[in-house]
Structure 1
Amino acid sequence: MLFRQLEYLVALSRERHFARAAQACHVSQPALSEAIRKFEEELDVPLVLRGRTYEGLTPEGERIVVWAQRILADRDALKSEAGALRTGLSGRLRIGSVPTASGSVALLTAPFCLAHPLVTVEVTADLRSDDVLRQLRDFELDAGVTYLRRGLGDRFRTVPLYEERYVLLTGEADAPAHRTAVTWAEASRLPLCLLTGAMQGRQVLDELFAEAGVLPSPRVETDSVAALFAHVRTGRWASVVPHTWLHVFGVPYGMRTLPLVEPSRTVPMGLVTSAREPGSVLARALAEIAGRTDVAAALEHLPEGPGPSPGAS
């Protein structure tokens, strides 16, 4: 059994196509297919359902690919650990984030890169919360920034970062006059642009609207918080956005933000890593940075700009 065979099987499981898997592994399709066939002979079990096209993995293949992911993750962790002992941390740190939290990730990557100059960082934003956890389980991510909801269980370690709260974002001409806050019920009657229903961030909003006894009917839905700002800029829409994104954009010119009340509730956000030992040395290093970084305080400092501050009348 060779690591290369394990890599090919994992790539095939991920890409669900022989040609794309071969391209991802930088080999020819016949070479990848033959290596997997020999792997099946070594294990004496069929791993791939073969027809005129790729038809998926066999039940045995689904089980073996989990072992392959674990073995490859342990190999990478061993190499990183050895490298850290020799020259300090190096390699590539992979972080995934839900859309509402992606604007806060830089508050972790900046001190991390300063402390570990030989490490490069890859950030995948706009993931669903379930996708963050799945990719952590499948060793496709080293860490995630997502909602610290109940039921994470013993498979993950968490570092609380901040409490997400929500503001109404409108065009300045459409903001309720002489108000310093707006209720969720009032917001529901505006022409809204919101995140899509599949996103955890939207599900949180729906719970808050429901708590106020209303059901929003957005005319536009998107999986991008930046797109929410873009739609509000047109003057046709209002939106509900997490306060963390004001740290990125401030309150853009011509817009206004108002805190949402009745109910007033926050949602805990944090760094999530696998609890599996020994685990990723890069993930441990990021968790250490997160533990001593006051992300919540940093998010309260908004960039200077022409727009009024959040909640200003």
Structure 2
Amino acid sequence: MIDKLEFFIALAKERHFGRAAIELGVTQPTLSAAIKQLEDQLGVMLVQRGSRFQGLTPEGQRVLEWARRIVGDARTMRAEMNAARRGLAGHVRIAAIPTALAMMPELTTPFRKKHPEVTFSIISRTSLEVLSLLENFEIDIGITYIDNEPLGHVAAVPLYSERYQLITAAENRYSDRETVTWAEVAELPLCLLTPDMQNRRIINQHLEEVGATVSPTLESNSMIVLFSHIRTGKWASIMPLNLAEVLGFSEPIRAIPIVEPDASHLVGVVAVKREPHTPLVSALLYEARLVAERYAQKQ
């Protein structure tokens, strides 16, 4: 039944039999047959059928919750037995919001030193995508904001507080200041992350708090794109303090704290809320707590 539940989870995620079959590496008739067998075993209809996928039935929504729990437990059991036999090894999949990507080596480098048989893949995603990927078992942990928007049913380990700075070229407006206000920042030609990014929603929120709005002259989902435009001297941006420190801004680029308000938001590691976690996830959450302690000592 575990295989059929995994098929059902994939179908619920893709909402299309053909795409789900491709994702699973099986034929569409094989997937359809597995779903039908699962319905027969459970005695309920799980999928609303027509000429195409039309969604899950109410019973299907409930079975999906159970499927995620059962499949997650089965994978955790297999991972724990593998770790008992071979030691901690395997591949870790991480999704992080763009502003947190620069700090990833602080987590991955000491972790791999302790566990050299572990490999990583790291992708950049929005905060909502991070949570969706976790829910569908497509990643092992996520790095995202944990105090600004609802997280749902996850375990969270706070890492650091994100504070904001105006990043601008020397000789530009306000570049000689020790601090600058949110209202003043709104007057500048800004390049910012796209509106689907929670960082952008946070920036919009703080501008609205001081009665200001912003119409950026450039938007991107890449921090590298933003930084490359700042270097031209024609744009400014708003970036977290920790990101500015990692990128090592120096002349002719200045990083100026933004005040009134002096805002901060908590970034942390999130994982599916379950006990026990897989050995890899448990070890990563432990490492995240050590990273958080190092950040706290810097403050």
Q: CA offset at residue 232 of structure 1?
A: 2.1
1:114 partner SS: helix
Letter of the 2:164 counterpart: Y
| Cα distance in structure 2, aligned partners of 1:290 and 1:144 | 11
1:249-260 alignment to 2 at 5 Å? 249-251=247-249, 254-260=252-258
Does the 8 Å CA contact 1:154/1:275 hold for their aligned counterparts? no
Letter of the 2:78 counterpart: K
Aligned to 2:104: 105
| Cα distance in structure 2, aligned partners of 1:18 and 1:230 | 42
Does the 8 Å CA contact 2:188/2:236 hold for their aligned counterparts? yes
| Cα distance in structure 1, aligned partners of 2:256 and 2:242 | 14
Aligned to 1:60: 59
Letter of the 1:136 counterpart: L
Does the 8 Å CA contact 1:162/1:295 hold for their aligned counterparts? no
1:117-136 alignment to 2 at 5 Å? 117-128=116-127, 130-136=128-134
Aligned to 2:217: 219
1:127-146 alignment to 2 at 5 Å? 127-128=126-127, 130-146=128-144
Aligned to 1:288: 286
2:226 pairs with one of 225, 228, 234:
228
1:109-188 alignment to 2 at 5 Å? 109-128=108-127, 130-149=128-147, 155-176=153-174, 178-188=176-186
Does the 8 Å CA contact 2:13/2:136 hold for their aligned counterparts? no
| 1:65-92 C-alpha deviation (Å, 9 max, x unpaired) | 2211211111110011111112211233
| Cα distance in structure 1, aligned partners of 2:7 and 2:146 | 34
Q: CA offset at residue 138 of structure 1?
A: 4.2
Letter of the 2:134 counterpart: L
Q: CA offset at residue 297 of structure 1?
A: 7.0
| Cα distance in structure 2, aligned partners of 1:41 and 1:155 | 30
Compared with structure 1, are the counterparts of its residues 299 and 245 closer, same or farther at alpha carbon in structure 2 (3 Å cutoff)?
Answer: farther
Does the 8 Å CA contact 1:155/1:276 hold for their aligned counterparts? no
Does the 8 Å CA contact 2:134/2:272 hold for their aligned counterparts? yes
Compared with structure 1, are the counterparts of its residues 26 and 154 closer, same or farther at alpha carbon in structure 2 (3 Å cutoff)?
Answer: closer
Between Structure 1 and Structure 2, how many residues are aligned? Answer: 298
Does the 8 Å CA contact 2:166/2:239 hold for their aligned counterparts? yes
| 1:82-114 C-alpha deviation (Å, 9 max, x unpaired) | 111122112332222222212212211111122
Q: CA offset at residue 299 of structure 1?
A: 8.5
| Cα distance in structure 1, aligned partners of 2:231 and 2:48 | 50
Letter of the 2:28 counterpart: Q
Aligned to 2:201: 203
Letter of the 1:82 counterpart: M
| Cα distance in structure 1, aligned partners of 2:217 and 2:152 | 40
Q: CA offset at residue 150 of structure 1?
A: 6.6
In the alignment, is residue 239 of structure 1 matched against residue 230 of structure 2?
Answer: no
Q: CA offset at residue 33 of structure 1?
A: 1.4
Compared with structure 1, are the counterparts of its residues 33 and 252 closer, same or farther at alpha carbon in structure 2 (3 Å cutoff)?
Answer: farther
Q: CA offset at residue 191 of structure 1?
A: 1.0
Aligned to 1:72: 71
2:171 partner SS: helix
1:44-59 alignment to 2 at 5 Å? 44-59=43-58
Aligned to 2:82: 83
TM-score of the aligned structures, taking structure 2 as reference length: 0.88
| Cα distance in structure 1, aligned partners of 2:277 and 2:63 | 20
Task: Give me the CA root mean square deviation.
Answer: 2.6
Letter of the 2:244 counterpart: L
Q: CA offset at residue 190 of structure 1?
A: 0.5
Gaps of 5+ in 1: 301-313
| Cα distance in structure 2, aligned partners of 1:284 and 1:243 | 29
| Cα distance in structure 1, aligned partners of 2:105 and 2:296 | 14
